[in-house]
């Protein structure tokens, strides 16, 4: 029975999400039930592409990424795939009419990771668009449930929130990206060493994205709002922690929020939501 395979497919997407990202998984749990599996499916697809370029060292990454793109569109066109992650993703794409522009733009950013080592401002903005902003738009398609007017209204806010999350990831993973993968995302690093002035410039840019992103959260449908807010709270705390430490420490270690702190943040967020403080 195909229904059994459908269940196996989304179970795979859910497992990938929970294995790779505890914080994102927690945020998904606070979404309304009908939104949870579609967002797991989006994350599973994104993670699959990301792993090809980040982890599959010694294998033909470019060829594998090209094959993933072909298989993804074949799955969308057929409405089925033997790859469980692609099967659950195609179902979301077809159900919520996710634009192929978003998928193309995302995969283009993954391809950039195969070759780009440093970015100028234009390349940086292009990478942020593909790796984060359009992923936010995929999720927004789910949350707005084919309400095109609401999607268009919330589109710029979702893009800014996705941008903020990604830029914080860049700061958090600065050392691993630079030393482990040889990547330098921030264009400021083309001309300057990473110092307090450069760090502050990046932080102010993120805060501006966050401010607009938060306004969008308040406009989301109620059933989606709290789950996205939980992710916002986590990244806000992570940014606050980064802002409190010197630039030299970011160069030497990965900044993280402990699981105990995450649970405390999420519990506090739940209380604020319960008392209608959001």
Residue 77, domain CATH: 1.10.600.10
The region of weakest confidence among 8-12, 25-29, 96-100, 198-202 is 25-29
What is the mean predicted confidence (pLDDT) over 108-122? 89
Q: pLDDT above 90 covers what percent of the chain? A: 67
More confident residue, 108 or 172: 108
Say if 278 falls within a structural domain.
no
Q: Is residue 125 situated within a structural domain?
A: yes
- Nearest-CA neighbor of 175 among 188, 163, 165, 184? 184
164 near 171, Cβ under 8 Å? no
**Residue 206: φ, ψ to 5°:** -65, -40
Is the residue at 274 inside a domain? no
pLDDT band at 195 (very low <50, low <70, confident <90, very high): confident
Mean pLDDT of 231-235: 90
Domain count, the chain: 1
Is 108 a domain residue? Answer: yes
- The better pLDDT of the pair 36, 188 is held by 36
pLDDT of residue 269: 55
Scanning 174-254, the segments in alpha helix (DSSP H) are 174-175, 196-219, 222-243, 247-252
Task: Write out pLDDT tens, residues 126-183.
Answer: 999 999 999 999 999 999 999 999 999 999 999 999 999 999 999 888 877 777 777 8
Task: Please give the share of the chain, as a percent, with pLDDT higher than 70.
Answer: 90
| Structural domain includes residue 277 | no
Q: Taking all residues of the chain, what is their mean pLDDT, rounded to a whole number?
A: 89
Residue 33 in domain: yes
Q: pLDDT tens digit string along 69-98?
A: 999 999 999 999 999 999 999 999 999 999
pLDDT at residue 108, rounded to an integer: 96
In a domain, 276, yes or no: no
Q: Cβ(187)–Cβ(119) under 8 Å?
A: yes
**Boundaries of domain holding 169:** 2-269
Give the global pTM.
0.90
The pLDDT score that the predictor gives to residue 261 is 61
Provide the H-helix boundaries in 116-221. 121-128, 134-144, 148-172, 174-175, 196-219
């Amino acid at each position: 029975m195909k229904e059994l395979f459908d269940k196996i497919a989304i179970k795979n997407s859910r497992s990938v999400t929970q294995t790779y990202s505890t914080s994102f998984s927690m945020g998904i749990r606070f979404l309304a039930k009908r939104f949870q599996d579609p967002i797991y499916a989006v994350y599973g697809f994104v993670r699959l592409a990301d792993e090809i370029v980040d982890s599959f060292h010694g294998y033909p990454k470019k060829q594998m990424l090209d094959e993933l793109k072909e298989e993804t569109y074949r799955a969308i066109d057929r409405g089925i795939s033997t790859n469980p992650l692609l099967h659950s993703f195609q179902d979301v794409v077809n159900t919520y009419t996710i634009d192929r522009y978003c998928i193309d733009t995302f995969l283009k950013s993954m391809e950039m990771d195969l070759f780009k080592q440093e970015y100028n401002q234009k390349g940086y903005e292009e990478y942020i668009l593909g790796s984060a902003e359009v992923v936010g738009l995929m999720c927004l398609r789910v949350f707005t449930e084919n309400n095109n007017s609401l999607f268009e209204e919330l589109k710029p806010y979702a893009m800014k929130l996705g941008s903020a999350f990604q830029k914080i990831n860049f700061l958090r993973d600065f050392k691993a990206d630079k030393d482990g993968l040889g990547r330098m995302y921030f264009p400021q690093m083309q001309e300057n060493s990473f110092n307090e002035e450069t760090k502050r410039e990046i932080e102010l840019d993120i805060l501006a994205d966050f401010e607009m992103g938060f306004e969008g959260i308040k406009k989301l449908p109620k059933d989606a709002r709290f789950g996205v807010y939980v992710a916002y709270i986590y990244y806000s705390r992570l940014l606050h922690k980064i802002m409190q430490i010197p630039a030299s420490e970011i160069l030497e270690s990965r900044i993280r929020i402990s699981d105990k702190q995450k649970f405390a943040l999420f519990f506090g967020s739940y209380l604020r939501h319960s008392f209608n403080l959001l």
